[in-house]
Amino acid sequence: MELIRKGLIAITGTTGVGKSQLAIELARKLNGEVINADALQVYKGYDIITNKVTAEEMLGVPHHLLDFKEYTVQEFERDALQKIHEIHGRNRVPILVGGTNYYIQSVMFQKEPGSPQGGSTGVQPNDHSFEQSQVDKSNQQLWEELKSVDPIMAENWHPNNRRKILRSLEVLHTTGRKHSEWVADSEEARRKEETLRFPTLLFWLYADTPVLNQRIDNRVGDMIERGLFGELGQLAKDLSDPRAEFEAYLKAAATDSKTSELECEQLKAKGIEDMKTSTRRYAKRQITWIRNKLIPECRSTLGKSTRAHPFVLDATDLGQWKSEVMNKGLSIAQKFVGSAQLPEAAAVSDTAARLLAEVKEKPNSILAWKRHFCSVCSKSAEETPNGVALEVWLNGDDEYNQHMHSRQHKHNIKHRKRVSSWHKKDGDDARGCDAPLSKRANTNLESTGD
Ligand SMILES: [Zn+2]
């Protein structure tokens, strides 16, 4: 059996799915070493906050890049590649494990230097003649015009973003080709310039959202019992940037604070709820990224000499973890290391089949972003102190959902309600903005996508 030369096993997924345990099991059975790819775990001394694997749990398996420092992605990439090189030199298998997307991606894929910037058309706007020729048209007219000739690009711009709309019209005018086509081409070119560094076996450990959310809530509870607040106090001193959720509580709990005990407890309870919410939201973003970006990028290596093989392992039922995650993972990894035929990824489990069917063919394009406009938070020029209109756009559903729950958005809703009740008397539109689409006046938020 010929061993795969200079291969890599990568394990990713949210918190609470057993990534570290799988890494350790694989390392023990396959003569491997573990490289940490979790940005949080590099905080030295904060074992509870970062849910760091303990020396006892490591079972003698070497772990690299734990307890290190705050990394930039470039520093991480450099050090992780160095470690992989060393591990290959010892004829062992490097196992990269963690939930930090850009760490995993920077190690798996190499970006060729000098990639063109997004949307480059090779045409520079070198005079203002085009702009001048359009000076009599209103923003709305220009947007309608763009929508008729390049609807994809029109959907990308807010109808009041005159500069961008003019630019898209100018590109078509000058090059005879739609701006959206230039953007799509340049995205495609950048994808081609991303090359996989090692033959890679990727495991995505997945748990269904309701189960995972419950697990996250329980974990936050565990962390508190294990002494989370002690670490948080220390972290606040060390970084002068505590976990934002507990900032109010930690301030109130400081010895010189005059906050009452009851208020303190309320702030603490609020902090705990906020921590659960933000951890859930982070998990959701991780899953979206794996499904929409990482797996499609792996698939794009199909037919190339260096390939990435993505597999989903179902960690929804922890009672089945050993058979569903450990045994299945080990069996696949043994085949990979032994250069044997790998099974069909969709045949591993029903969950794998379902998730892989949902994966997009290509990584997310900016042209496929569903853009959302928040009319609650956007302000017309008359409403801002500096007289410059503020438009709040959210790129994609995740950013939108996050924004909807943000403190700023909730604050603005309250503010708008007040303003609206004042203005009702004069029949003024509380938004103070000439809503270009009639729907906008009636709904707080509107998607410009389908
Ligand atoms: Zn908003």
Task: Using the predicted structure, report yes or no on whether residue 176 has a pLDDT greater than 50.
Answer: yes
Report how far residue 375's alpha carbon sits from residue 386's, in angstroms, rounded to the nearest whole number.
19
In angstroms, what is the span from residue 375 Cα to ligand 1's centroid? 7
What region does 396 belong to: left with phi over 0, alpha with psi -120 to 50, or beta? left
With contact defined as beta carbons under 8 Å apart, do 335 and 329 qualify?
no
- CATH number for the domain running over 8-113+193-213+272-358: 3.40.50.300
In angstroms, what is the span from residue 242 Cα to ligand 1's centroid? 26
What is the token pair recorded at 413? 């809703």
How much is the average pLDDT of 131-158? 90
* CATH level 3 topology of 118-190: Histone, subunit A (1.10.20)
In angstroms, what is the span from residue 433 Cα to ligand 1's centroid? 15
User: Are 8-113+193-213+272-358 and 118-190 in the same CATH fold?
Assistant: no
Report how far residue 13's alpha carbon sits from residue 62's, in angstroms, rounded to the nearest whole number.
21
Residues 6+ apart with CB under 8 A from 448: 155, 370, 371, 372, 373
> What's the mean pLDDT when you consider all of the chain?
79
Q: How large is the C-alpha radius of gyration of the chain?
A: 26
Closest CA to 5 of 88, 76, 74: 88
In angstroms, what is the span from residue 291 Cα to ligand 1's centroid? 27
Q: Compute the residue count for the chain.
A: 450
In angstroms, what is the span from residue 263 Cα to ligand 1's centroid? 29
Amino acid identity of 443? T
For residue 433, the model assigns a pLDDT of 31
For residue 41, the model assigns a pLDDT of 59
Model pLDDT for residues 114-142, shown as the tens digit of each residue: 444 444 555 565 567 888 889 899 999 99
What region does 387 belong to: left with phi over 0, alpha with psi -120 to 50, or beta? left
In angstroms, what is the span from residue 377 Cα to ligand 1's centroid? 4
Report how far residue 275's alpha carbon sits from residue 73's, in angstroms, rounded to the nearest whole number.
25
In angstroms, what is the span from residue 404 Cα to ligand 1's centroid? 6
Q: Give the three-state DSSP class for 110.
A: strand
**Residue 60 to residues 25, 46, 54, 87, 157, Cα–Cα distance (Å):** 11, 21, 11, 16, 55
For residue 449, the model assigns a pLDDT of 34
- Provide the sign of the torsion angle of the four alpha carbons 233, 239, 100, 119, taken in this order: positive
Report how far residue 285's alpha carbon sits from residue 446's, in angstroms, rounded to the nearest whole number.
21
Question: Does 312 or 192 have the greater pLDDT score?
Answer: 312
Report how far residue 430's alpha carbon sits from residue 420's, in angstroms, rounded to the nearest whole number.
5
Report how far residue 52's alpha carbon sits from residue 103's, in angstroms, rounded to the nearest whole number.
17
Model pLDDT for residues 23-55, shown as the tens digit of each residue: 999 999 999 999 998 876 555 556 666 667 777
Model pLDDT for residues 332-387, shown as the tens digit of each residue: 999 999 999 999 999 999 999 999 988 876 655 666 656 778 888 888 878 877 77
In angstroms, what is the span from residue 410 Cα to ligand 1's centroid? 7
Q: How many CB atoms lie within 10 A of CB 242?
A: 21
What is the token pair recorded at 360? 């997009």
List the chain domain ranges. Answer: 8-113+193-213+272-358, 118-190, 369-450
Report how far residue 410's alpha carbon sits from residue 131's, in angstroms, rounded to the nearest whole number.
38
In angstroms, what is the span from residue 439 Cα to ligand 1's centroid? 16
Task: Using the predicted structure, report yes or no on whether residue 112 has a pLDDT greater than 90.
Answer: no
In angstroms, what is the span from residue 267 Cα to ligand 1's centroid? 25
For residue 450, the model assigns a pLDDT of 31
In angstroms, what is the span from residue 444 Cα to ligand 1's centroid? 8
Report how far residue 151's alpha carbon sits from residue 140's, in angstroms, rounded to the nearest whole number.
14
In angstroms, what is the span from residue 272 Cα to ligand 1's centroid? 24
Report how far residue 258's alpha carbon sits from residue 432's, in angstroms, rounded to the nearest whole number.
42
DSSP states along 382-447: GGSTTS--B--EEEHHHHHHHHHTSHHHHHHHHHHHHHHHHHGGGT--TT-S--SSHHHHH-SEEE
pTM greater than 0.85: no
In angstroms, what is the span from residue 359 Cα to ligand 1's centroid? 29
Report how far residue 44's alpha carbon sits from residue 36's, in angstroms, rounded to the nearest whole number.
13
* Burial tier of 309 (Cβ tally within 10 Å: 0-12, 13-18, 19+): buried
Closest CA to 362 of 98, 239, 184: 184
Biggest CA-to-CA distance, the chain: 83
How confident is residue 183, by pLDDT bands cut at 50, 70 and 90? confident
Report how far residue 37's alpha carbon sits from residue 95's, in angstroms, rounded to the nearest whole number.
10
In angstroms, what is the span from residue 173 Cα to ligand 1's centroid? 35
Model pLDDT for residues 386-404, shown as the tens digit of each residue: 777 788 887 777 778 788 8
In angstroms, what is the span from residue 372 Cα to ligand 1's centroid? 10
Report how far residue 315's alpha carbon sits from residue 233's, in angstroms, rounded to the nearest whole number.
33
In angstroms, what is the span from residue 412 Cα to ligand 1's centroid? 7
Facing residues of 109 across strands?
196
Task: Using the predicted structure, report yes or no on whether residue 438 has a pLDDT greater than 50.
Answer: no
Facing residues of 12 across strands?
204
In angstroms, what is the span from residue 385 Cα to ligand 1's centroid? 19
In angstroms, what is the span from residue 386 Cα to ligand 1's centroid? 20
Task: Using the predicted structure, report yes or no on whether residue 323 has a pLDDT greater than 90.
Answer: yes
**Measured distance between the N- and C-terminal CA atoms of the chain, rounded to whole angstroms:** 52
In angstroms, what is the span from residue 35 Cα to ligand 1's centroid? 40
